[in-house]
Structure 1
Amino acid sequence: MEDDDNTDFSLEGDQGNVPEWSSIPQSPAGFKSGFIGIIGRPNVGKSTLMNELVGQKIAITSPVAQTTRNRLRGILTTPEAQLIFVDTPGIHKPHHQLGKVLVQNAQIAIESVDVVLFVVDGSVDAGGGDRFIVDILSRTQTPVILGINKVDEQPPSYEAIDASYAQLAAPNNWQIAKFSALTGDGLEALQQLLINHLEPGPYYYPPDLVTDQPERFIMGELIREQILLLTREEVPHSVAITIDVVEEEPTITRILATIYVERDSQKGIVIGKKGSMLKSVGSAAREQMQKLIAGKVYLELYVKVQPKWRQSRLQLAELGYRVED
């Protein structure tokens, strides 16, 4: 193991604590604030959108569906408002206990926010999954904005696509915003539209904060993202991460993390031949962590098998997945 790599790989792991936030100032006169639920089918770009809006990577993005698990809050503070974005799991038909928890949390989020941003994929026509979500949203009193994402991927004749979404919005009188989370086009107008829907309110979080999740959670998500990106369908959603130890030293932060999978075969895939996959996961995750904490990171990864953890409410809770209040 070479010093300039600063990533180590093993097969086991333990736990620790999270830092406190700074004090919250009083908001100026006329200041607005509120919570915005980002809702939509899997893979419509919800996490990419939130990362772009808050200006920092806090939610993982992956070509694999169902990657968002926890209700993650991203915070954007401007001179006139504080917008707290709640990124939710893609709403879909659940196939296991984890899926039920994820969808239940997304539905709870709809009722607990000030505005819902219903994100759809503007590169394709509205589908059955979108109509399923419309049915859920049509029963809420929460204001809804229909956000047509991926305008950068729209074909030259996109009118029919836009019309299919306009038909979803019209019966409920939802406003429509078009944008690209990837390029940033249209996000300024979207941001202003969201602010227009908020009421006067206080700072809920310190103005310099971009998420209410502790750094440990983000670190775990960065590891999980690399596993999803590098293993693709081989180890789809059977992965959970715990950050067991974070030791901050003057010149380096040492992190020990455990990767949980459900089967021995998945453990073999995550480790790879002679540890090659685990090394690739660790190196890429360490790079992202160094951006997160703006400093040098030493990362040590362990892999453990925890059979059928997604089917057990107890094991889900132990790994940080529970139905939110």
Structure 2
Amino acid sequence: MNTVPTNLRPPLLTVRGLTVARKDLPTARIVDGVDLDLRRGEALGLAGESGCGKTTTALALLGLLPDALVRTAGELLLDTEHGPRPLHTLSPRGMRAVRWRRVSMVFQGAMNALDPVMRVGDQIREAIRLHRPELDRAAADARVHELFDQVRLDPARARSYPHEFSGGQRQRLMIALALACGPDLIIGDEPTTALDVITQRRILDLLDELRRELDLSVLLITHDLSVLAETCDRVAVMYAGRVVEAGDVDQVYGSPQHPYTQRLLASFPAVGGPRELPPPIPGAPPDPAAPEPGCAFAPRCHAAVDRCRADAPTARAHPHESHTARCHLLPWPAPAPEAAR
């Protein structure tokens, strides 16, 4: 385990200006100019409502976008022993060499991701042999048993079928599958959504333990900001395809600056607080096929002014912290014209 603090370590993944649009309507941007930085050994949470572009961002990183969508802009740089590797320039064959060996994913629905008529050990072995053909069957079997130990499952159950496992155990299998080829980065796409709260806690604790044991970087996607409070180092909040606020967990939770982040955090009742429902966020997210001028959140924002409805805000950084937000109403001083350029 590396003892260097994550904030002092080099970036593993750098995303600049990632934009994903519909093929039949390029003006409909599902992801719109996303910037992300993920350091080695760090856990970054990506939060927001359903449909805000979180999963699409992850699929774009892996080159797994559905046929109806296309990446139209952006740079994706993955740090390797030979320097930054530009994923956005790779061919489909080149991306296949990156997936699972360098970047892997824990999908949301384990029963949809696992083959129901194939033993789970065979499925994991198949992934290992596909991406590491130099390993023979005995070595691959040994790796399967090692993975079962790592995710706290009995290796003897490698001969079982997916339906013979509980929901939490199936998510552990998905984590084992993601770890199969020793990646540097694991993307968790709402890996605990279908689980009860106790099992959710155990799966999140397991991911955190493995991150520290194996020195992994983790990108955790969720619509539940409370999930990220104890499991991530930093958090990025998305709305309408854009990152509207990002920073260290303590900064974003302790002093949220964007009205959307404020309302999301206020939607979780405090233990011991008033026994009443928090105020909902009115309205619905905008339709990417019919973008309007101004801030995308303005029609739902409790603090919007005329400028918010006319001009789209740019991301601004706190002068002394690694905290950014995209809002006209920030109390932070505006950047100098040179910095703005």
TM-score by length of 2: 0.30
Higher relative contact order (CA 8 A, sep 6+): 1
TM-score by length of 1: 0.31
